[in-house]
Amino acid sequence: MNDSIQKLERLLVQTEAYLTSCSEEVLSQKPAPNKWSKREILGHLIDSAINNLQRFTEIQYAEKPYVIRNYRQDDLVRVNDYQHADLQELLILWKSLNRRIGIIIAAQTDATLSYEIRFADNSASDLRFLMTDYVEHMEHHILQIRRVH
């Protein structure tokens, strides 16, 4: 899990540097009316962090297998109005949540990483997959942010 923790920290640093170098126009530009702006993608990453922080924490004490509840990502981005949110506020929240997630990932043992999870489609995996996939999901969206619209 050390690789995931290092990647997580690297993504936080690099993404903050990139986003703070962008103009307001670039941050708010949508590639299409139904697509998220860079700022909204960051907002989605905040929602993902909130949901996964809760998952990573609850699985430690919840009945196993731990059942993953889905969340409505488009609705969360819209209701939180990330398109008009202050970039610094979003970055502080995103970094804080992810630093806490990094601490939780680092605290896991082989036993806890093996905790079984179930997805909404009833497929199964384990906490190791969920944590690794979280960082990969973040990287995917950061690559979207860095693409020129």
124, β-bridge pairs: 118
The per-residue pLDDT for range 62-91, each reduced to its tens digit, is 999 999 998 899 999 999 999 999 999 999
pLDDT value, residue 147: 87
Cβ count within 10 A of residue 104 = 16
Task: Examine the pLDDT at 100 and tell me if it is beyond 90.
Answer: yes
Q: Which domains does the chain have, with CATH numbers?
A: 2-146 (1.20.120.450)
Positive/negative CA dihedral, 12, 5, 143, 138: negative
pLDDT value, residue 148: 62
Considering the entire predicted model, what is its pTM? Answer: 0.95
CB of 101 closer than 8 Å to CB of 134: yes
- To which residue do tokens 């290092």 refer? 6
Task: Please compute the mean of the pLDDT values over residues 14-19 and round it to a whole number.
Answer: 98
